[in-house]
Amino acid sequence: MTADAGANRQIRLARRPVGEVRAEDWAHVSEAVPVPGDGEFLGRTRYLSLDPAMRGWLDDRPSYLPPVGLGDVMRAGSVVEVVASNHPKFQVGDHVVGAFGVQEYALSDGKGALTVDPALAPLSTYLGALGMPGMTAYFGLLEVGALKEGETVVVSGAAGAVGSMVGQIAKVKGCRVVGIAGGPEKCALLTEELGFDAAIDYRAEDVREALRTHTPDRIDVYFDNVGGPILDAALTRLATHARVVVCGAISQYNNEEDTVQGPANYLSLLVRRARMEGFVVFDYARRYPEATAEIAGWIGDGRIRVKEQVVEGTVDDFPETFQMLFRGENTGKLVLRLG
């Protein structure tokens, strides 16, 4: 399916999902392509970012960002190519990353937008390793997790966009790394390609028993992307003064009732004098250039490998592609490239 000539295809939130997001929750809309006014530019979307956190933005509840409004264009990070501009800082042909939404064309005043160079890295990488997932892994592990050389790190959702970066950064910092992922292919990726010391297949193994095997010195930093029973299992293996980094809880996002399964083994925090801390990566926005430069250096010298899954399609393919995140079908950063 391709967009009509002169039309701006958009995906808007039609209703708030209950449990799993369904096709009926989205509205496929076509509008006229906007014209930039003074101090604005128009970008054509080239790459759309798909992230588990987007599910939380659909619920009408307090969070670190306001929910997407009913009838609004779905919020999403993307890379656009400037096709018309009345903005002094953005020229036609520039590639720009920002939160432009799930639409074929985006009008912007430049706030929160950053020009990127496709000669330095593929455009999709600015949504992954050099984008929000990379920033999340970097600051979550090194700042919130207060990682020290020689420690043992366990990360859940380890084959995803954030988890795969967390494990690799921990290896760069001289740590032992155990990843938890679903399926033999993802586990093989972690150990054979990304350098993890061990991988646990939560679909085929008893996670609690496997953690006993692979963390003989217990867990110093647990980076949690999934919540639920896997979080509970990790809490039983904490070392003294361990840090639990709460990044996400994808196992809980599609709960049909307004409830989240909390940790049953939270008293391990008391016994081990450990701490559990959540964070929002936007709090570190002023330090993004620092993290970007360091991650780019690690990619350049081969110590970090970029893992991306780029799906070719159109704006109208967003709803189905989004569901890949919750079916465990993606490896690394999931991106929709608009052809």
**Whole-angstrom Cα distance, residue 76 to residue 94?**
19
What stretch of H or E contains 46?
Answer: strand 41-50
Residues 171-187 have pLDDT tens digits of 999 999 999 999 999 99
Domain limits at 172?
Answer: 132-282
192, 87: one domain: no
120, 178: one domain: no
* pLDDT, the chain, mean: 94
118, 205: one domain: no
Q: By three-state DSSP, how is residue 184 classified?
A: helix
pLDDT for position 2: 35
In this prediction, residues 143-157 reach a mean pLDDT of 98
22, 39: one domain: yes
* CATH number for the domain harbouring residue 263: 3.40.50.720
- The string of DSSP letters for 50-80 reads E-THHHHTTSSS--SSPPPPTTSBPP--EEE
Find tokens 């052809």 and name the residue.
339
Q: Which tokens belong to 70? A: 């009913």
Count of domains for the chain: 2
Residues 268-300 have pLDDT tens digits of 999 999 999 999 999 999 999 999 999 999 999
Of the candidates 94, 48, 96, the one whose C-alpha atom is nearest the C-alpha of residue 73 is 48
In this prediction, residues 40-57 reach a mean pLDDT of 95
**Whole-angstrom Cα distance, residue 233 to residue 137?**
22
pLDDT for position 250: 74
**Whole-angstrom Cα distance, residue 219 to residue 209?**
14
Residues 59-69 have pLDDT tens digits of 988 888 899 99
141, 255: one domain: yes
Alpha helices in 57-206 (DSSP H): 132-139, 161-172, 184-188
pLDDT bin (cut points 50, 70, 90) of residue 146 is: very high
pLDDT bin (cut points 50, 70, 90) of residue 249 is: confident
39, 90: one domain: yes
**Whole-angstrom Cα distance, residue 222 to residue 247?**
10
pLDDT for position 312: 97
pLDDT bin (cut points 50, 70, 90) of residue 256 is: low
Contact predicate 41/85, CB 8 Å = yes
Of the candidates 331, 144, 131, the one whose C-alpha atom is nearest the C-alpha of residue 222 is 144
Q: Is residue 149 part of a domain?
A: yes
**Whole-angstrom Cα distance, residue 193 to residue 202?**
19
Residue type, 102: V
- Checking if the pLDDT of 37 tops 50, the result is yes
Contact predicate 156/223, CB 8 Å = yes
110, 47: one domain: yes
Q: Is residue 287 part of a domain?
A: no
223, 146: one domain: yes
Q: Is residue 299 part of a domain?
A: no
Q: How far apart are the first and last CA of the chain?
A: 10
pLDDT bin (cut points 50, 70, 90) of residue 209 is: very high
Q: What is the pTM of this model?
A: 0.90
List residues bridging with 106 in a β-sheet.
Answer: 43
